[in-house]
Amino acid sequence: MAERPTRPTHPTYDMGQHPDIAEMRSRYDQAAQSPSGQSVSGLALLSGLYLAISPWVVGFFPRTNLTVNNLITGVALAILAGGIASAYGRMHGLAWVIPIIGIWTIIAPWVLSPHGGGVGAIANNVATGFVILCVGLAATALGAMSKRRHR
């Protein structure tokens, strides 16, 4: 005898379709499409790309821990920034990661290299990390400003 398909005893709802969530995503997307939102996303993307190529630009490109770290962290930041720029309504919750990457970039020369990796590497990572930290704080503030504007 064939089994009958069972129907769920409780109706199921997709929370992603809830009107409040749809409105919130719309507000976040509007904030991201503003000139300041686009500038923040663009700077985060460019900072990530620069961090990835910085060992070759500055000249500390022999395969060291710091070189590999900057390459991987920079690519990860660029991907994260691209995701935030294209779908801020869904990705705004990950914006807090950007300042963490900035802090890590600042301290990485001392953590990964016993002598800091050289003056060029230290100066590069501190300056780039500071820019990433500031851009990350601006990206997280963008979502907070969107919330305040619509209360």
Alpha carbon distance 141, 115 (integer Å): 35
Residue 43 lies in a domain: yes
Residue 51 lies in a domain: yes
Mean pLDDT confidence for 75-103: 86
113: helix, strand or coil: coil
Residue 79 lies in a domain: yes
Alpha carbon distance 114, 109 (integer Å): 8
Above pLDDT 90, what percent of the chain?
41
**Domain range for 143:** 36-149
Residue 100 lies in a domain: yes
The count of structural domains within the chain is 1
pLDDT above 90 for 70: yes
Q: Which residue has the higher pLDDT, 90 or 29?
A: 90
Given pLDDT bands bounded at 50, 70 and 90, which one contains residue 53?
very high
Residue 140 lies in a domain: yes
